[in-house]
Amino acid sequence: MKKNILVVDDSALMRRVICDIINSDSGFQATDTCRDGLEAYEKLCQKAYDAVVLDVNMPRMNGLELLERLQKENIKATVVMVSTLTTDGAEVTLKAMERGAIDFIEKPNNLIETKGQRFREKLIKVLATITAAGSTQTYQKKVITNVVKPAAVRKIRTKDAARSKIVAIACSTGGPKSLQSVIPLLKSNMDAPVLVVQHMPAGFTKSMADRLNELSPLDVKEANEGDVLEKGHVYVAPGGKHLLVQRLADGTHCIVLSDAPAIGGLRPCANLMYESLMDSGYDEITCVVLTGMGADGTKGISELQKEKNVYVIAQDEETSVVYGMPKAIAETGLVDEIVPLESVADTILKNVGVN
């Protein structure tokens, strides 16, 4: 049976193009269309859809306002945002995910790209992933207030310090929202730096890192070439770059960003991050695999555990938007703990400790 999709966009051309793409696949049908969020709200009050493709900027009720209405009234829907690749677009996309959107696709800049193969493949792939996962969400409010950070205190660390630790997190579909249930709950004095690979395009990762930084007691940033890793800091891989770790002559470690080709269509790729830690000086590596489609991270962790003392934490199926990446690593038998999303931060802290 075909999956029923609701398309919401104020552009008649965009509605037609998206509907044509959806209807061209045997697994989907564009059942209904709406010109704005208000029409969509009325539809969603009366009928359930397998997914909603939602534009941001629309008259009467825009995409964010619709998500807020759904959240307020606990109306179930699986929403994919269509967002522009701009700074403003990235910030709006992150806000949409905070309000319950599952994933997003980049809106093409012109008609040729809109009708192109890349946009079609991305749209169908996202719809296939979220509808197969049964990831319909109830939009329940969860308010996280901004955190005031204490003044930074730098410690002098010597080479004969206690066993050195690092945390490396991998996530994809559903990851931005899930990270908001993990990173803000970590402690600024945790005894390890944190690396994050989230599958997102360039531009979106900076907005995500900035938002996590506002919400968290520890410092969060989009990683730059040459950043020296410090405990209590989080480094997010930039979209379009692979994140690697390099050991320096003085025993410290720094970030190396690579323009190497995408691996399985992914750049950043978590497998490369984990594999780069094989030559590091870290004694204990906590690997965390959160929600996401595919199996990124599994190969890298499998190789890493042959050389290093590795502790693997995977998100459970019930709280994963897409139980792909956590399932893949769990099936290897390498996972030490499978926990619900709300327990991930505590599990990390329990394993690495604080200063």
- Catalytic residue numbers? 172, 199, 296
Label the pairing between strands 165-171 and 194-198.
parallel
- Beta strands of 40-83 (E only): which ranges? 51-55, 76-77, 79-83
Parallel/antiparallel/unpaired status of strands 242-247 and 253-258: antiparallel
Q: With beta carbons less than 8 A apart as the criterion, state whether 149 and 234 touch.
A: no
Residue environment code for 148-174, b if the CB has 16+ CB neighbours within 10 A, otherwise e:
eeeeeeeeeeeeeeeebbbbbbbbbbb
If you count them, how many residues does the chain have?
Answer: 355
C-beta separation of 198 from 172 below 8 A = yes
Residue 350 has phi, psi (to 5 degrees) of -60, -35
Sequence-ordered list of residues with C-beta below 8 angstroms from that of 321, at least 6 positions apart, any chain: 102, 130, 133, 135, 137, 173, 174, 177, 178, 291
% helix / strand / coil in the chain, to the nearest 5? 35, 25, 40
Q: Please tell me the distance from the alpha carbon of residue 128 to that of residue 134, in angstroms, as a whole number.
A: 10
